[in-house]
Amino acid sequence: MSKRLFVLISVLVAASMLLAACGGGGGGGGATLKIVSSLPMTGASLTQTQTIVNAEQLRLEQANYSACGGKYKIAYEAWDDASAALGKWDPAVETENANKAAADKSIIAYLGTFNSGAAKLSIPILNQAGPLVMVSPANTYAGLTKDQSHGAEADEPGKYYPSGVRNYARVVTADDVQGAVDANFMSSKLGVKTVYILDDQELYGKGVADVFEATAKKIGMTVLGHEGIDPKAADYKALMTKISTSNAGGPPDAIFVGMVVDNNASQLLKDKVAIMGDNTKVKYMGPDGIQTQAFIDGAGKDVAEGVYASVAGLAPENYTDAGKKFLADYEAKYGKLTEPYAIYGYEAMNVTLAAIESVCASGGDPTDRAAVTKAVFATKDFNGVLGTWSFDANGDTTLTDMTVYQVKNGAYSAVGTFK
Amino acid sequence: MSAKAKSILRGIVVAAVVLYIAFLLGPIAGFDVPAIAASIQADPKQLIQFLIIGISNGAIIAIIALGYTMVYGIIELINFAHGDVYMIGVFTSLTVLSLTGTLNTNDPVKIILGLALALVVSIASCAMLNATIERLAYRRLRNAPRLAPLISAIGMSFIIENLGLIWASQSWLVPSFGTTGGASQKFFPDLLGTIFTVNGWKVNLFEYFGIPLRFTIKDLLVIVLAVILMVGLYLFVQRTRLGKAMRATAQNRDAAKMLGIDIDRVISATFLIGGGLAGAAGLMAGLYNNTAWWFMGFRAGLESFTAAVLGGIGNITGAMLGGFLIGLLASFSDGYLNARWTHAWVFATLVLVLLFRPSGLLGEQVGQKA
């Protein structure tokens, strides 16, 4: 490249960056409030995250993309925090998203993330940017908001909030509840005495598996082993062979897997069934990360038959009236809903819009990130699609219902709701 | 002290240090000798079971590794897109099986015919794809600095991965892809198992002999097919005229040209054969692991490339050896060490081997550069 051409291009690039910066800054002073979501949209989780984005857009359409009686326009962008190189959420992309959001002053809420490991990276960045409020529709790792007494690490959750102010809330029940409910369900409803635990070595997967293990031991189940798996391996036949003789020469009563579908969850199940037979003899259970149609399609209908998975909240047939209306509106627009997280996406947007309205109602400025954050945390007795609930001081929902699903004829159907 | 004694002494010291580290840090990664010994003693037949699993997995890795090593031997390029060509092989087979109705039938004859057709189509299309990649992305860069074709290989890899991503969402082509989009893993039906269960045969062949181990028809097919392909390739390279031309081109491209060998044709043929092997491996892996996934080529490529380096890059026998070694290593690590560390053990072994034998176990076979 000639020198002159290089100079010309450099000038052009610099100029366009300057313009872009002005454009962003200009939005902050005026009538547009921007809300972004950051979810993995390249990889198997797309099956779940697309429904979340759909639901968030549905809520905005109902609000006509405006707030405070039309004083402010709401703009929405769905960001992807996954990369094709990893095929799932990518730490580099999530960090970049958080930095981008921190820098764009027109953004007043960050609806994400999907993976707890991603939230761990973006919470501290956004915490020092206003703080900018995060409302997650899907993170369940306890340590993001709760302390050691709920199964978190010693320095959690303080290390995520360097400014000392909380800015992260979630509309979904955390894993200290989920792991415990799963263990109790296995023991009392399935009569499981011995269990082998596997996880995908991520913050979420290992977190929920650890809570499960602790509860299982407490209620008298025998934990034969707890191992992390290599989430990209071609197969797990050797591992499953080892597990098949881990219970004094025989297979365990059940296997619990703490993982998301992107981390080879379908392959793991296939090899389990190949070595130890179908899921009636050796039971197979996982958390919400595998409660998606993508998991069943990947494993094959017959292989997945009988697998259990738990998700926070009520089963669709038991939704509140507001929840049922959401479901009807959603299916009218986007077709049949098979995924459990859409309603949480809707609720996350719902509670964020309510917070913006309450800032306006009290005469505040909704472009002020700190004011919006405060309003989100002040949510009390909120009448949403999930029921009537509040955020506690940690930013956790007061709802603790967990529903256990089982694969029947190639689709998840609810078995029961537990606390 | 003579130079030879010195080098032996140095070898002993390095080996002692390595062993010390392995025993000191090994238990963290599951290398706990007493525990391993205890579990072998408790169930010695499991050792053979892990051997079977390792060999079956190793056979697939070995077949893919051949493609890497052939290409490297002849033009000294790591064809990063090779793993993804294998992934396309899986999708091609699955699509052929779906279009011919093989996925919905229980008739053994139809299944076998469908599989045979899938094998032929998969080999042919992957061979063509690999040769096309060479024509489009590598040929023009043959005399460019070595980094250039390497980068274009990575680019081709991304392009093919995204092709797989699009392919996996075409449920009109293969209804079993479902409606969950191209990103998720797809199910590759267990057709061999179907043939056996329909006829009332036992899927686990060892049950006929009363051996309490698992050796399924899938393991048998994978191993037999792999051996046939490897022996065929070896004979082809050693005995045929084109094989001889390939070896000549690998040894010295310019001299081969001077002797009247059509270099472009020979290189194209190498890519065709490598791609065809990847296509065959695609069908084998689909039947063995029952998964089709747009991202599966990445890991398979990494492991196969490691196998090729382990055995000595450019060396066809070495690639086979490396493939089986990695399969066995992974299987034993999953079984006796700790599944979390399997990947680390594989690469630690590679590092160790390269420390003592920098050109791989059987030695490199690449061109002599002036």
- ipTM confidence score: 0.85
A366 and A240 within one domain: no
Quick one: A167 and A207 in the same domain? Answer: no
Q: Which residues of B touch A233 (CB under 8 A)?
A: 299, 330, 342-343
Same structural domain for residues A169 and A43? yes
Quick one: A166 and A180 in the same domain?
no
CA nearest neighbour of B322 among B97, B120, B66, B22: B66
Does residue A21 sit within a domain? no
Query: Could you give the CA distance from residue A340 to residue B145 in angstroms, rounded to a whole number?
Result: 52
In sequence order, which residues have a C-beta less than 8 Å from that of residue A152 and are 6 or more positions away?
A: A142, A143, A146
Domain contains A350: yes
- Kindly indicate the confidence band of residue A23, based on its pLDDT and cuts at 50, 70 and 90: very low
**Average pLDDT score over residue span A365-375:** 91
Residues A139 and A250 in one domain: no
Residues A169 and A180 in one domain: no
In chain B, where the domains are located = 32-356
* Inter-helix orientation angle B296-311/B147-167, to 10°: 140
Which of the given ranges, A38-42, A414-418, B35-39, B116-120, has the highest pLDDT on average?
A: B116-120
The predicted structure's pLDDT at residue A4: 65
Whole-prediction pTM value?
0.84
Does A186 share its domain with A162?
A: no
d(CA A13, CA A230): 42
Cβ(A394)–Cβ(A376) below 8 Å:
no
Residues of A in contact with B290 (CB under 8 A): 270, 300
Positions in chain B whose pLDDT score sits under 50: 369-370
pLDDT range class, residue A28, cuts 50, 70, 90: very low
Question: Do residues A72 and A148 both lie within one domain?
Answer: yes
Residue A135's pLDDT band, with cuts at 50, 70 and 90, is very high
Q: Which residue of A has its CA nearest to B163?
A: A84
- Domain tally for chain A? 2
Give B298's contacts in chain A (Cβ within 8 Å): 87, 232
Q: Looking at A267, A294, A312, which one is the last position of a domain? A: A312
User: From residue A78, how far is each of A37, A82, A126, B95 by CA, in Å?
Assistant: 5, 12, 17, 33
Is the pLDDT higher at A87 or at A22? A87
Report the residue from B57, B178, B342 with minimal CB separation from A293: B178
| β-strand pairing of A82-83 with A88-89 | antiparallel
pLDDT digits (tens, 9 = 90+) for A89-114: 999 999 999 999 999 999 999 998 99
Q: Which residues in chain A touch residue B293, judged by CB atoms under 8 angstroms apart?
A: 298
Residue A417 located in a structural domain: no
pLDDT for the residue A234: 87
pLDDT tens digits along A167-178: 999 999 988 889
pLDDT score for B84: 95
Q: What is the 3-state secondary structure (H, E, C) of B62-114?
A: HHHHHHHHHHHHHHCCCCCCHHHHHHHHHHHHHHHHHHCCHHHCCCHHHHHHH
> What are the structure tokens assigned to B269, written together?
């043929």
Same domain for A344 and A278: no
Residue at A79 is within a domain: yes
Rounded average pLDDT over A331-353: 91
The range of the structural domain enclosing residue A64 comes to: 29-173+320-399
> What local confidence, expressed as pLDDT, does residue B244 receive?
92
pLDDT (0 to 100) of residue B367: 62
**How confident is the model at residue A16, as a pLDDT?**
57
Q: Are residues A334 and A371 in the same domain?
A: yes
Tens-digit pLDDT profile for residues B177-229: 877 777 888 899 888 888 888 888 888 888 888 888 888 888 999 999 999 99
Sequence-distant (6+) residues with CB within 8 A of B220 are B205
Nearest CB partner across the interface for B180, out of A201, A233, A297: A297
Residues of chain A with Cβ-Cβ distance to B285 below 8 Å are 234
For residue A110, give the nearest of A141, A145, A135, A144 by alpha carbon: A135
Dump pLDDT digits (tens) for A251-278. 999 999 999 988 899 999 999 999 998 9
Phi first, then psi, for residue A228 (nearest 5°) are -90, 150
Residues A366 and A356: beta-carbon distance below 8 Å:
yes
The CATH number for A165's domain is 3.40.50.2300
Q: Rounded to whole angstroms, how far apart are CA atoms A209 and A199?
A: 6
Contact B340 A229 (CB under 8 A): yes
Angle in degrees, 0-180, between the axes of helices B263-289 and B241-251, rounded to the nearest 10: 110
Q: In terms of pLDDT, which residue wins out, A224 or A11?
A: A224
Interface test with A, best of B50, B56, B184, B333 (most A CBs within 10 A): B184
In a domain, A127, yes or no: yes
Q: Hey, of B334, B343, B346, B347, which one would you mutate to test binding to chain A, going by the most A CBs within 10 A of its CB? A: B334
Tell the CATH topology of B32-356: ABC transporter involved in vitamin B12 uptake, BtuC (1.10.3470)
Specify the pLDDT at position A219.
93
What is the arithmetic mean of pLDDT over A35-62? Answer: 90
Measured from the Cβ of residue A75, the count of other Cβ atoms closer than 10 Å reads 15
Q: Are B230 and B63 in contact (CB under 8 A)?
A: yes
Residue A112 lies in a domain: yes
Considering only residues A19 and A358, tell me which one the structure prediction assigns the higher pLDDT.
Answer: A358
Say if A412 falls within a structural domain: no
CA-nearest of A244, A246, A245 to A274 is A244
Nearest CA in chain B to A335: B179
The rounded distance, in Å, linking the Cα atoms of A306 and A268 is 15
Interface test with B, best of A49, A52, A237 (most B CBs within 10 A): A237
Residue A13: the pLDDT is 59
Domain boundary among A280, A295, A312: A312
